[in-house]
Amino acid sequence: MELRVLQYFLAVTQEQSISGAAEFLHLSQPTLSRQLKDMEDELGKQLLIRGNRKVTLTEEGMILRKRAEEIMELVRKTEREISLSDEMIAGDIYIGAGETDGIRLLAQAAQKLQYDYPMIHFHIISGDSTTVTEQLDKGLIDFGLLFGKIDTTKYEFLNVPFKDTWGVLMRRDSPLALKQSITAEDLQDKPLILSRQAFQNQDFQTFFQCDKEKLNIVATYNLLFNGSIMVEEGMGYAICFDKIIHTSDNSNLCFKPIEPKLEATMNIVWKKYQILTKAAEKFLLKLQEIISQTK
């Protein structure tokens, strides 16, 4: 399968018509139709449902669109890296991370690095650990900020001397808001809002001392901002990290730590045997420098 044909396919998905894509690509409609049909024959699957006014994707077509977008992004990233001059330290650094106050350390390293190399640009891509590791494995990001145990057969890592504290985000008028800390017993009968990966964490299973089926989980979140809105609207109590959602005196929300204290360690990780760009190498050195100063 040629990259050129993948670009044709993506153009059709964006324009939602073969005629519109042909005009955008400066191709004749019969030429484009033939290329798409050849691709379907090569894969042995129908990718497009051709209607009178627009085309829609089959299930296989939706899978190909997702993969084609990832492939083209990786191609563009590779082209940018190779085209940079040997003498110039410049380029883009992509970092995948969940929501954590630990991003501050990465931001400190980025700011100091950009002072010396202003042509380096940083891109933070938010996502949970599953999303971050998928992007790492596909080469779409350079580094990931992950919590807990690291698969050292796949990744190199640098421990970040920063820990996030687990606790409960709740409304200030909630019954538990008067407590200084929250126990598992306090939450047994409460409507809970959890991250979608919470129970993959062994510490959580130990804390609750029960299967998640026995808890009253009313909702899950991927990004805590969405979870905080559910809390504000009275749906329940969100289990989350401290310092992510604003909980000053002017806020309707408050945060209470879990008891016994539960913390999460974090690491900056990258793929084993990965050839880092010069910009990524400089960033890693700057991180190591800052970390050594904080110890």
Contact (Cβ atoms closer than 8 angstroms) between residue 101 and residue 242? yes
> What does the angle CA 50 – CA 51 – CA 56 come to, to the nearest 5 degrees?
60
The string of pLDDT tens digits covering residues 148-186 is 888 888 999 999 888 889 999 999 999 999 999 999 999
> Model confidence at 14, in pLDDT bands (50, 70, 90)?
confident
Contact (Cβ atoms closer than 8 angstroms) between residue 227 and residue 255? no
CA distance 225 to 228: 5
The string of pLDDT tens digits covering residues 227-279 is 999 999 999 999 999 999 989 878 999 999 999 998 888 999 999 878 788 89
- Average pLDDT over the chain reads 87
> Model confidence at 191, in pLDDT bands (50, 70, 90)?
very high
The string of pLDDT tens digits covering residues 115-147 is 999 999 999 998 888 889 999 988 889 999 998
pTM beyond cutoff 0.75: no
pLDDT of 259 reads 93
pLDDT of 15 reads 85
Q: If 0-12 CB within 10 Å is exposed, 13-18 middle and 19+ buried, where does residue 170 land? A: buried
> Model confidence at 85, in pLDDT bands (50, 70, 90)?
low
pLDDT of 203 reads 73
CA of residue 249 relative to chain centroid, distance: 31
DSSP conformational letter for 200: G
183 CB neighbour count, 10 Å cutoff: 13
pLDDT of 199 reads 64
CA distance 107 to 94: 13
